[in-house]
Structure 1
Amino acid sequence: MGQPTSAAIKPDGRKLYQQVAAAVAEAIQRGEFAPGQRIPSERELADAYKVSRPTIREAMIALEVIGIVRSRHGSGIFVADNPQLDAPTVGLDIGAFELTEARRLFEAEAAALAAVSITDEEIATLEALIGDMERENLENVSGEHADREFHVTIARATRNSAVVDVIESLWDARYKSPLCAHMLERARSVGVQPRIDEHQFILAALRDRNPKAARTAMRDHLARVIDGLLQATESDALERTRAEVAARRTDLAKRVAV
């Protein structure tokens, strides 16, 4: 036991992470991984199933949410002592990586279109919303209310109701999907917040009525959101190492001061 059966995931109508989660659950059911045993690394699983590491990350978090695996700080992912192998993964719906990738595609083009038709009043609204974002960050407000309104305001500035509907639905999916909500909450718990400077870059491009710059600023922003989610969802495994390094640094400082 200890290595997954190597087989590329074939499209079957389910989301890719759901297929991987189901494959790992089946491997556990077959006895390839015993209760309490450590699951192979993301890299090993990605190689075995021929998918990206973010897909593996979503699959592992999905299995954790429904009680098939559990994470240990600094140690990795382990099969639960009593894995709930009959729990469905389909109901978890969309994951944060998949959702943010879709947002990057749609919102970048929306920002470019908005740059052509945005009004001074809407620019002023975006400026105020950045101020609200800063306040919410300081007060550690969950839900990113000002962040959502910032992006939806840009969608409205396109003067296209279909664009607004799509972008609002993508934001609403953040709260409707248990998997996505779990991943975002994990990110918040380790300090991931809306990035003020990136929103200011978007605003500057819109203020200049520059579609190309607005598209680029939005794409760069959401690419960094994906990077932040990747770091946040692996930070559990790194937390112990960081704490140990901090403790050694403090000890060394005390010794140097003697």
Structure 2
Amino acid sequence: MGSNRRLFWGIVDKIEALIDSGIYSPGSRLPPERELAETFKVSRPTIREAIIALEVREKIEVKTGSGVYVLKPVNQLIGSNKQVNAFEVTQARALIEGEVAAIAATTITEDELARLHQTLVDMEKGEFIAEADKEFHQIIANATRNSAMILSAQNLWKLRSSTPEIIKDYDSVCSKDNSKTLAEHTAIYQALKSGDSTQARLAMHGHFNRLINALFDAVELRALEEIRQKNSETRGLYSIPNPVDI
């Protein structure tokens, strides 16, 4: 699973980056499978796997006999024009995914537990951490066998990249403290493995509670830096020149 999986996710990330940057714009058709394989220097089966993953992420739509088309990004909640912030997304995820974990503790299969454990291994190696993080939460949501819960978890994950502000806030904390995230994911995994719904819920809440606090710390540091910058500019404006320099 190792090298093939890493190669597969690498191609997913590259194509997704091209979509997000607008090089492959919404409504446009992706290059043919053969051309993509040549561009990324991988096999066509690897491209097919990447296309399937991108379709699951709702980045593209495969139209039989026509091609693969880029979908418009989902930037907002259904039926709402109001933008949300990182704190609201995280609180909502804590509440919903806490219950998702509680349900999954009674329904998760041995195969799903094995795949969940693999994400822990990937995170411990420090390889494809973001992908392992997302897969971890998706496996748990899918384990509920509840389509509404799965869709809710997926939509909340999409909101993580719905605005530049949320992306900036999450990037400021998710690229750090991998050891803490790994420890929290391990606690959730152990609770699921033991079939303990209460502990699974508590472990998931603990995971998001730490993330919310980290977001607050990051926002405070950024605000302090902005104040320092403004004070520095103002100080230069009103400082009295040294008589020697006049």
Q: Structure 1-normalised TM-score?
A: 0.52
Confirm whether residue 184 of structure 1 aligns to residue 170 of structure 2.
Answer: yes
Q: Deviations over 1:201-245 (max 9, x none)?
A: 0000000001111111111111111011111222346679xxxxx
CA distance in 1, matches of 2:219, 2:177: 11
Note if contact 1:187-1:233 (Cα within 8 Å) is conserved in structure 2.
no
144, 152, 162: which one aligns with 1:158: 144
CA distance in 2, matches of 1:107, 1:196: 17
Confirm whether residue 207 of structure 1 aligns to residue 193 of structure 2.
Answer: yes
1:106 to partner: Cα distance: 0.2
1:236–1:202: structure 2 CA closer, same or farther, 3 Å change rule?
Answer: same
Note if contact 1:192-1:232 (Cα within 8 Å) is conserved in structure 2.
no
CA distance in 2, matches of 1:98, 1:192: 21
159, 169, 173: which one aligns with 2:159: 173
Q: Residue 198 of structure 1 corresponds to which residue in structure 2?
A: 184
CA distance in 1, matches of 2:202, 2:220: 27
Identity value in percent: 40
Q: Residue 95 of structure 1 corresponds to which residue in structure 2?
A: 85
Q: Deviations over 1:77-134 (max 9, x none)?
A: xxxxxxxxxxxxx988221110000000100000000001111111111100111223
Structure-to-structure mapping, 1:1-258, within 5 angstroms: 93-135=83-125, 138=126, 144-188=130-174, 191-193=176-178, 195-236=181-222
CA distance in 2, matches of 1:146, 1:91: 31
Amino acid at match of 2:150: V
1:192 to partner: Cα distance: 4.5
Query: How many corresponding residue pairs?
Result: 146
1:187 to partner: Cα distance: 2.8
1:134–1:232: structure 2 CA closer, same or farther, 3 Å change rule?
Answer: farther
1:231–1:192: structure 2 CA closer, same or farther, 3 Å change rule?
Answer: farther
CA distance in 1, matches of 2:201, 2:208: 11
CA distance in 1, matches of 2:109, 2:99: 18
1:205–1:182: structure 2 CA closer, same or farther, 3 Å change rule?
Answer: same
SS in 2 for 1:195: helix
Q: Deviations over 1:31-61 (max 9, x none)?
A: xxxxxxxxxxxxxxxxxxxxxxxxxxxxxxx
5+ residue gaps in structure 2? 1-79, 227-246
